[in-house]
Amino acid sequence: MKITWKTEISELVNVENAVGMVRDANSRLKNLLEPRIDALELEMTLGGLSKQALIFDGVSPLYNKAQEIMTAYESKLTEFVNFEKEVETAATEKRREQLLKLQSAIKAQLEALKASKEYFLEQAAKMAENQGVYYDRYSTAADYRQYAETTQESITALEPKLEQVNIELGKV
Amino acid sequence: MAIIGNVDYERIKQSATVLEECAPSEKDNEWLIIQDLVNDDLKKESKKHDGYLDSIIAKHRDWAALSKNNTAYREFMVQVKKIGETWENIDIGVGGEVLSGLTKIDEILGLEGENKLSEMYVSHKQSDIEFHTNAEEIEGFISSVNGEAYDDKTKEWMDGLVKSTGGTAVKGTMVSLISMVQNIMAPEEEQVQQDPPQQNTSPSTATTTTNHQQPATNNYSYRVETPESNTTTNTPEQQTQNKVESSTEQEPPQTQTPSKDPTPSEEPSTGNNESNNTGENNNTSGNNNTNNNNTDDNNTGDDNTNADKDETVKPTPDPDTNNQQGNNTTGNTNQETPPSSQTNTNNGGYNTSYNNQNSNNGVTPSTPSNNENAATTTPSAPDSDAGIKDNSGETLDVISIDKETETSNTTTTTDDGGNVIPIVLGVGAAGAAAVAGAKYIKDKKQKENTYEDENSEGEDSFSYLGNYQEDTSPDKSYKAGNVNKLVLDEAPKDLKIEEGMPEISNQKEELE
């Protein structure tokens, strides 16, 4: 994705959205696995998977097996939580990156617009004094002033976006 | 003392059930779907922004491990259930092979080398092995947890468990059972367990084991005890009289008449006519099968009996024992086995095995029956007896004819039973001989009550019965055809019809 000053902030990575997708999936996964984990814990505590349920020479193979399974479940849930965090981090970083790019692009655009405005105003002044504008037979000083005003309008419209980007950058 | 197993069946089974409910197989891949969905969304988002999440998604996209764990989880649930069932079968039934069950658990748990339970079991074979059961604790636990969910099935199972553990929460109650199984698994299958008390500790399981694997082991110990059962007042003569007096429907007792001598003859070939606890044995077999209280009363402590040995044992005519037999046999509702005139209507259930084992019952001479209910309780003659028709009494008549012809030739060997008919008939076609003999006996019986005299003669006649019963293996059904086969296979060739019995020869001619 190429970031320009025209890029809207909404087009950038939405961290909340990305993390939300993972968080939602994580919630569904918990709803799916936690009952099983609870059942395992119950059976391992009181049921047939307890250490006392089946013992062979002091070893409780069923309990150990259940422990392995439950550990695997818990590790998967933890892994999914970590995945959510990683996505959040990556999205945030990406958003920051995009915001920085957007900030840079907006700043560059603002600089260009401001330079253009200055140029138009300068030309308008020269036209008014009849100096140096011999090559533009079709434009008048009023026209350059109009260009400068239009450019200023663009600058005025773009500066809040830069401020917004700065704010967003402050968030990420 | 090596403690190999500490089993809490109900908990294991309950755990398996709970786990199954918690993890339906249809939802096993649900989290994979969830992950795939979120990954797809994230990938789109990431791709739109130069794939900034590719590395992260790739890092966490390997959900095969999760799927693997899920599969292992499901397998584990199934395994737990299998383990519970396996141990249940081992402890309650004891009919299940312990070693195979342990081997199965080894496979389930992936145990190898010295950790194999089967190896442990074999290594501790000569030592005491305890299977811990805690029935009361389990029952209380189930009641407290499940409450009303303590259904009939669970109760039935618990009852079996409590029964197997001797009615109490016992540690090590299965020692005797395991020792029995060990004996069964031992190469010496011929070993006779001389410790009835062990068996008594766990009656239900003990009976099952004996039935399944080592049918013949316990008979003798009980035989020693059986003399107590000889409390019947009927003398054999009275019994015979009763039989004669009884209608033709009165069929001889399926069980062989127990001999006065408590010593049983293990080998069928020994031909000990005297040693007969078969009646008791029969009774015991009935006990094993049906767990009838009546049989216990009749049998007086014959808990463990094996039909095989019963067959091997050669009965001698004891009036007392006959009463027991009558009691036992009468209980038999089996249609095939001829019911004794002494019929206890209660004992219906277990006789099928008994009948199968003791196909001789139909052939055995009818024990005197004092029971008035004989007509009602007497089972119909087996289908195989159709050739002989009517009641087993006819078959008894056949034997009695044999006795008439050759009372002195009675032998205890199994061959004797087959020899009886050829001796009488002296005909190669045993089937025809059997039919002819039956008819002859029937006619003769109608004319003369010679049967009483023969029965009153004493042990010889009963020895025929015993011999004949021994001849028939438990697998052999009570059929005239089988008898004929036995005759053809084992009958002496030089036998001849006695001239003093023209009727038989006449019938022979008719048949031919």
- Asked whether A93 and A171 are in contact (CB, 8 A), the reply is no
Contact list in B for residue A20 (CB cut-off 8 A) is none
Tens-digit pLDDT string for chain B (512 aa) = 334 455 566 667 777 776 666 554 445 566 677 777 888 888 888 888 888 888 888 877 666 655 666 666 667 667 777 777 666 655 544 434 556 666 766 666 666 777 676 776 666 644 444 444 444 444 444 344 334 333 454 445 445 444 444 433 333 333 443 444 344 444 443 434 444 433 333 333 333 233 333 333 333 222 323 333 333 334 444 444 444 444 334 444 343 433 344 333 333 333 344 334 433 334 433 333 333 333 333 433 343 333 333 333 343 444 343 443 333 333 333 333 333 333 333 333 333 333 333 333 333 333 333 443 433 333 333 333 333 344 434 333 333 333 333 333 433 333 344 444 344 344 444 455 555 555 555 565 555 554 444 444 444 444 444 444 444 444 444 344 344 444 444 445 555 555 556 666 677 677 76
Give the chain B residue nearest A27 (alpha carbons).
B34
B131, β-bridge pairs: B5
pLDDT at A110 (0 to 100): 92
Q: Does A90 touch chain B (CB under 8 A)?
A: yes
pLDDT at B140 (0 to 100): 46
Domain that residue B184 falls in? 2-212
Task: Please list, in sequence order, all residues whose beta carbon lies within 8 angstroms of the beta carbon of residue B403, skipping any fewer than 6 positions away.
Answer: B410, B454, B457, B460, B461, B464
**Cα B338–Cα B340–Cα B345 angle in degrees, nearest 5:** 100
Residue A101 has pLDDT above 80, yes or no: yes
3-state secondary structure of A60: coil
Chain position carrying tokens 């600058």: A155
Measured over the CA atoms of residue B422, residue B427, residue B429 and residue B433, the dihedral's sign is negative
CB contact under 8 A, A87 and B73: no
Report the residue from A13, A35, A53 with minimal CB separation from B11: A53
Strands B129-132 and B2-7, bridge-based pairing = parallel
SS (H, E, C) B41-110: HHHHHHHHCCCCCHHHHHHHCCCHHHHHHHHHHHHHHHHHHHHHHHHHHHHHHCCCCHHHHHHHHHHHHC
CB contact under 8 A, A65 and B109: yes
pLDDT at B283 (0 to 100): 40
What tokens does A32 get? 């799916």
Chain B: give the shortest CA distance to residue A124, in Å. 44
Strands A54-55 and B2-7, bridge-based pairing = antiparallel
- Asked whether B265 and B246 are in contact (CB, 8 A), the reply is no
Q: Does B59 touch chain A (CB under 8 A)?
A: yes
Rounded Cα distance, B334 and B251, in Å: 13
Report the residue from A32, A43, A52 with minimal CB separation from B19: A43
Q: Please tell me whether residues B224 and B199 are part of one structural domain.
A: no
Q: Please tell me whether residues B455 and B404 are part of one structural domain.
A: yes
CB contact under 8 A, A61 and B15: no
pLDDT at B407 (0 to 100): 39
Chain B: give the shortest CA distance to residue A4, in Å. 14
Q: Please tell me whether residues B484 and B359 are part of one structural domain.
A: yes
Q: Does A50 touch chain B (CB under 8 A)?
A: yes
B382 torsion bin: left (phi>0), alpha (psi -120 to 50), beta (else): beta
Chain position carrying tokens 């989880």: B73
Q: Please tell me whether residues B224 and B206 are part of one structural domain.
A: no
Alpha-carbon B204 to chain mean position: 12
For chain A positions 92-151, those within 8 Å of chain B (CB to CB) are 93-94, 98
Strands B129-132 and A54-55, bridge-based pairing = unpaired
What is the domain count for chain A?
A: 1
- Asked whether B361 and B255 are in contact (CB, 8 A), the reply is yes
Domain that residue A30 falls in? 9-171
CB contact under 8 A, A54 and B5: yes
pLDDT at B117 (0 to 100): 67
Q: Please tell me whether residues B404 and B484 are part of one structural domain.
A: yes
Rounded Cα distance, B415 and B467, in Å: 8
- Laid out side by side, the sheet with B2-7 consists of A54-55, B2-7, B129-132
Chain B: give the shortest CA distance to residue A13, in Å. 7
Q: Does A33 touch chain B (CB under 8 A)?
A: yes
In a domain, A3, yes or no: no
pLDDT at B208 (0 to 100): 29
Q: What share of chain A is helix, strand, coil (3-state, %, to 5)?
A: 80, 0, 20
Contact list in B for residue A85 (CB cut-off 8 A) is none
Write down the H helix ranges in B110-195.
117-123, 135-146, 152-164, 175-185
In a domain, A27, yes or no: yes
Max Cα-Cα span within chain B: 118
In this predicted model, what pLDDT tens digit does every residue of B314-370 receive, in sequence order?
Answer: 434 443 434 433 333 333 333 333 333 333 333 333 333 333 333 333 333 333 334
Q: Please tell me whether residues B136 and B201 are part of one structural domain.
A: yes
**E-strand stretches of B168-327:** none
CB contact under 8 A, B52 and A17: no
Residue A114 has pLDDT above 90, yes or no: yes
What tokens does B488 get? 């053809």
Chain B: give the shortest CA distance to residue A145, in Å. 41
Give the chain A residue nearest B32 (alpha carbons).
A29
Q: Does A25 touch chain B (CB under 8 A)?
A: yes
Nearest-CA neighbor of B253 among B466, B414, B106? Answer: B466
What tokens does B148 get? 């009303």
Q: Does B38 touch chain A (CB under 8 A)?
A: yes
Rounded Cα distance, B102 and B6, in Å: 13
CB contact under 8 A, B52 and A79: no
> Which one has a higher pLDDT value, A157 or B499?
A157
pLDDT at B23 (0 to 100): 52
C-alpha distance from residue B106 to each of A62, B58, B176, B266 (Å) = 12, 38, 24, 39
Chain position carrying tokens 């009372």: B407
Report the residue from A61, A69, A90 with minimal CB separation from B56: A90
What tokens does B134 get? 């805690």
In a domain, A78, yes or no: yes
In a domain, A19, yes or no: yes
DSSP secondary structure letter of residue B316: -
What is the domain count for chain B?
A: 2
> Mind giving me the DSSP string for B419-479?
HHHHHHH--S-HHHHHHHHHHHHHHHHHH--HHHHHHHH-HHHHHHHHHHHHHS-TTS-S-
pLDDT at B20 (0 to 100): 65
**How deeply is B148 buried, as exposed, middle or buried, from its count of CB atoms within 10 A (0-12, 13-18, 19+)?**
exposed
Q: Please tell me whether residues B441 and B357 are part of one structural domain.
A: yes
In a domain, A49, yes or no: yes
Backbone φ, ψ for residue B488 (5° rounding): -65, -40
**Tally of CB atoms within 10 A around B457:** 17
C-alpha distance from residue B274 to each of B48, B257, B279 (Å) = 101, 10, 13
Q: Does B170 touch chain A (CB under 8 A)?
A: no
B7, β-bridge pairs: A54
In a domain, A22, yes or no: yes
**Cα B368–Cα B421–Cα B434 angle in degrees, nearest 5:** 85
Residues A132-153, mean pLDDT to the nearest whole number: 80
**How deeply is B290 buried, as exposed, middle or buried, from its count of CB atoms within 10 A (0-12, 13-18, 19+)?**
buried
A-B Cβ pairs (cutoff 8 Å, strict): 147
Task: Please list, in sequence order, all residues whose beta carbon lies within 8 angstroms of the beta carbon of residue B3, skipping any fewer than 6 positions away.
Answer: A55, A57, B129, B130, B132
- Asked whether B378 and B292 are in contact (CB, 8 A), the reply is no
Q: Please tell me whether residues B134 and B238 are part of one structural domain.
A: no
Look at residues B180, B212, B244 and tell me which one is the last residue of a structural domain.
B212
CB contact under 8 A, B60 and A79: yes
Q: Please tell me whether residues B371 and B265 are part of one structural domain.
A: yes
Chain B: give the shortest CA distance to residue A49, in Å. 6
